[in-house]
Chains A and B, each alone.
Chain A
Amino acid sequence: KAGVTQTPRYLIKTRGQQVTLSCSPISGHRSVSWYQQTPGQGLQFLFEYFSETQRNKGNFPGRFSGRQFSNSRSEMNVSTLELGDSALYLCASSLYGSGAGNQPQHFGDGTRLSIL
């Protein structure tokens, strides 16, 4: 099976712009979770989608949003970018998600977002 695929791998934006990141889960996996990884804070949970519904949300401002499509692919959007949004954004997929059965999560390679 192909692993979790994230696009693009690298992105450079300027303050105030918006960005959309994409994640394709492992075939058959229905849950997608998004994380922000920074050197100081480690992996911080953004949100989880399951069957096109946001099932869980972390402590991030409303500028961070996401959605999931019927084929389980997910997108994450960040509006009005700030310098502090520079980070590695990781998505992870699992069969049912940690909301139902606490299944293992499998990560993609991430999108490295740099804000100038």
Chain B
Amino acid sequence: GENVEQHPSTLSVQEGDSAVIKCTYSDSASNYFPWYKQELGKRPQLIIDIRSNVGEKKDQRIAVTLNKTAKHFSLHITETQPEDSAVYFCAASTRGRSGGSNYKLTFGKGTLLTVNP
């Protein structure tokens, strides 16, 4: 399978609070998990990624955790700011229809994060 489920679909937090977005995947061979931020009318931008040989990765206020056994990964944003408001997409590398080593990215449906001042 190549499903990627993302929750919640919308998230509203107060400035300074933390935000957590969770994703689950079904392909046991998935080994690369990027997160993208898309502001209104703009292109998706890669904000952080993690590979399957790592359980956690942090970059300033952003962190991602991966649980390969449970097949889920999460994005954590601390000390949120109004400029963090955007749609966030998780993705997982999944095998193509013919299997083998040709992976593609399968995206979750996105989370609209609103940070209220």
Q: Is B43 engaged at the interface, CB distance under 8 Å to the other chain?
A: yes
Q: Is B73 engaged at the interface, CB distance under 8 Å to the other chain?
A: no
Determine whether the beta carbon of A45 is less than 8 Å from that of B103: no
When chains A and B are docked, how far (Å) is the Cα of A35 from the Cα of B105? Answer: 10
A104 to chain B, nearest CB (A): 5
Q: Is A98 engaged at the interface, CB distance under 8 Å to the other chain?
A: yes
Residue of B nearest to A110 (CB): B43
* Stretch of A18-26, A52-60, A62-70 lying at the B interface: A52-60
Q: For chain A, which range describes its interface: under 10, 10 to 19, 20 to 34, or 35 or more residues?
A: 20 to 34
A90 in contact with B44 given A42-B107, A48-B104 (CB within 8 Å): yes
When chains A and B are docked, how far (Å) is the Cα of A57 from the Cα of B96? Answer: 7
> Which of A98, A106, A110 has the most chain B CB within a 10 Å cutoff?
A98
Residue of B nearest to A105 (CB): B105
Q: Is A8 engaged at the interface, CB distance under 8 Å to the other chain?
A: no
Q: Is A11 engaged at the interface, CB distance under 8 Å to the other chain?
A: no
List of A residues within 8 angstroms of B103 by Cβ = 56, 98-99, 102
Query: 1/0 per residue A25-63: CB within 8 Å of B?
Result: 000000001010000011111001000000111100000
Residue of B nearest to A45 (CB): B104
Q: Is A109 engaged at the interface, CB distance under 8 Å to the other chain?
A: yes
Determine whether the beta carbon of A57 is less than 8 Å from that of B105: no
CB contacts under 8 Å to A, within B26-60, are 31-32, 34, 36, 42-46, 49, 51
CB contacts under 8 Å to A, within B59-112, are 89, 91, 93, 96-97, 101-110
Determine whether the beta carbon of B89 is less than 8 Å from that of A42: yes
B92 to chain A, nearest CB (A): 10
A29 to chain B, nearest CB (A): 14
Q: Is A100 engaged at the interface, CB distance under 8 Å to the other chain?
A: yes
Q: Which 6 A-B pairs have the closest CB atoms?
A: A102-B32, A99-B102, A42-B109, A43-B107, A56-B96, A107-B43
Interface residues of B (CB under 8 A from A): 31-32, 34, 36, 42-46, 49, 51, 89, 91, 93, 96-97, 101-110
